[in-house]
Structure 1
Amino acid sequence: MESIHTFDVQTKIADTVREVFDLMLSMDLEFHPQVAQNYMFGDRVLGTINLVGNVMGIVTIQVGEKFSRAMTGRMLDIDPDDIQSMDEIKDVIGELLNMIGGNLKSSLCDAGLNCILSIPALTTGKDYIFETKALSRNEYFTFYCRKEIILVHVGLKNQDVEAAREMPVPENLDFNDKVDIDGFQIDSPITGALSNIFDTMLDIEIERCEAQMDSRPNQSWLVGSISLSGVVLGRINFHISETFSRIITAAMLDIESEDIEDLAEVKDCVGEVCNMISGNLKSALNDAGMPCLLSPPSFTSGCDFEMDLLNLQRVERFGFYHQDHDILVEVGLKPSYE
């Protein structure tokens, strides 16, 4: 069996991305292996899809907003100026991600590195940074379509031995089981986890409120995200301001906010909060006969971006606040057999 460090990611991604763009969009891409760009400026669209199982990881694709319209026009056979909404663009990026991620997943499984895919997620905007922590191998790929740039990132890690023993392996999940997503009680595991985290562990009092985010201009936000994959598919987004994220970090580390050296410490603590919220939801889903696996947390930070939960059967939003700080937890679920 191969390891994540010997698996030939570059050849697989270079071939797959070019084949998918040629087949679906009739676009010829040039792969530049000497360029390892991982960031794009201006209006852009970022699509992500997770791999979970004995191998954990992520695949991202990032393109400029203008080029995303050209891509959508090609797939739908319409003029880019006739695209009516961002929903059409999001569907196209999501479909490309499913194909690229699915091809990589199949190759990993063939190499004995078993995993399954999450649902795709989309981020749009002008000012944001995306990061997934705790991955042991990261590869960045740059493609060109004439003057347009397509950035692809693949990150991989082996599942921890202890965690691997406790979780159902992908090949043992029964994806034919019919599950009752609409009848599942989402509220209890989410509110229970938040109460335990903030009231008990952090000694930060929070109150329930309408599920919305503060719209003050120039406010910097941090969103921690975790995907669920298995008999049920889904995603959890935990939205807070960067200011409040530092308050949480100070409480968790028992230090003063001004002693926090950088955002890495903050993301570690927010990631732990995301893991606890998602873990509580996963346990409730498992108890309800809907076993699933969790991805590593990823983070989106910035002042101008929107995140979308794509093609989910059920989406619930839970709002809380501490003093003048808003908290929003988004949960989206769907059965995997759809």
Structure 2
Amino acid sequence: MNDYIKQWHNLILNCSFDNTYKMVWSKALVELSVNVSDEVDKDIIIFDFDDIAKLCLKYYWNQTIYFDLIQSPNLKKPPEILNHIKSLITHFFDAKNSVHPVRFEKIDFNRLQLIDKYEETVKRIITTLKKDVCWRFKILNSNTYDIYELDRKKGKVYFKRQDVLTLKQNSDLLFTFINYRWTQMLEGFNYSPRISRKVRAIDENNIKRVSLKKFHKYLDLMFEDSKRKCFYCGEEIEDSNLSVDHVIPWSYMFSDDLWNLVYCHKEENSEKSNRLPFEEDIIRLENRNIALLERMENATKEYDQLQMALEKNYVKQFWISFKG
């Protein structure tokens, strides 16, 4: 294991805790590293507290709105960040006039006229991260690990270029460490079952799958000669061997969205199972969605949903989110 990753491993698995702040902080930094290009030519990579806070909000939102998980051992004094997020969730329910939970990635706070509440929540999260989290994460047994530099006044985290690329290359391993440690913490705070699934904000109870044939008319728009081709191998598909696949597996999404659906051979669908796709498949799906939108009729529900998925970068956002 790389020495730099060993430091992260030690900090994540051996940290002391009275809440789960260190887990959201570390997970956000790793997720931001995934978005850094391998070709970046800067010696120092800067992550902004604003971006970190938005990711922390996403993690806590998805765990709280679905499962209301307790994030500290003191029931009378829950973490400040969690209180702010629960307040935002209350405003969200009021604006929707419904208590139906929705994943953070699918919410348009601007359209709900909640952008001020959202931005206020982000600012409050930043305040807590600066005060209590960013510097404490680096300390273990009175030793301070030199894994990044901080400017709390400006709200910046500074990484050496190679360190960020090392985080990116080892992101899957680090996400595993973080989720494992987070699960351990939550099991000490909650009596709720299946904590490990809820760390990733997914639950399979009472979720039914439906036929995907209704999407054929849209997916067919990509094939002017009516010869359907497999998204993965590029070969033509016989009708008897046709399957519609969720590129990001259904077991992660629990929803059927045009932006995530492609044609493929039945055997390739089965072989892929519920594994997350490689980045090259994600890039091809993004390009497919751009081309598909150009071929669809405007002013329809499906057009609007696909357009929103492109504008909000759903493919990359969900893929990175589920990697963690």
Larger relative strand fraction: 1
Give the alignment's TM-score, normalised by structure 1.
0.31
Larger relative helix fraction: 2
Higher-Rg member (1/2): 2
Give the alignment's TM-score, normalised by structure 2.
0.31
